[in-house]
Structure 1
Amino acid sequence: MLMAHPAVLTDLVRQYETLHGLQAENGGPEAQQRLDDVSYTLCIATGTRDVDTALIAARHRLPGARTEDDSLLIPGT
């Protein structure tokens, strides 16, 4: 699988967080469409199918992520 560059992931996560905040406040159609686009791009860039998993995967690949971070483990496994 191709891996997105950390700078690209950083930018996508920042965009998502900003748009998510704007959408919660304003909920305009432009903000919602951009949020949908960024969410989709995050999923493609991380090889995942939903935005929550994409955010976890992106953050795990960013500089400074702890290698012992267990946030990707499924409870009880």
Structure 2
Amino acid sequence: MITAHPSLLRDLIERCETLSRRLATHPSADTLRRLEDATYTLCVITGTRQLDTALFVARQQMAAALQCHQPLRR
């Protein structure tokens, strides 16, 4: 299975979370549109259809990628 680079996943997670908070405190059409765009991208990358599921899968993929790239201890 092909997964996105962890830095892209991290960026999209942060963007979705930030826009969600902003929309909750200062609703605007622009913020909603930007959140919808970021959500769509994250869902496509993770093969999901809902933001909460996409965030969960993206975090799992990031954790797996970090585990694979940690140096071995002696």
TM over 0.5: yes
TM bracket (short chain): 0.7 to 0.9
Residue 25 of structure 1 corresponds to which residue in structure 2? 25
Residue 15 of structure 1 corresponds to which residue in structure 2? 15
RMSD, matched Cα:
1.9
Instruction: With the length of structure 1 as denominator, give the TM-score of the two structures.
Output: 0.78
Which of the pair is proportionally richer in helix?
A: 2
Query: Is the radius of gyration larger for structure 1 or structure 2?
Result: 2
Structure 1: segments with no counterpart, 5+ residues: 68-77
Once residues 64 and 2 of structure 2 are traced to their aligned partners in structure 1, the CA distance between those partners, rounded to angstroms, is 21
Q: Percent identity?
A: 44
| Superimposed CA distance per residue, residues 12-69 of structure 1 (whole angstroms, 9 cap, x where no aligned partner) | 000001000000011110000000000000100101111111000001111478x8xx
Task: Detail structure 1 runs of 4+ shifted over 6 Å in the superposition.
Answer: none
Once residues 2 and 62 of structure 1 are traced to their aligned partners in structure 2, the CA distance between those partners, rounded to angstroms, is 13
Instruction: With the length of structure 2 as denominator, give the TM-score of the two structures.
Output: 0.80
Once residues 3 and 63 of structure 2 are traced to their aligned partners in structure 1, the CA distance between those partners, rounded to angstroms, is 14
Structure 2: segments with no counterpart, 5+ residues: 68-74
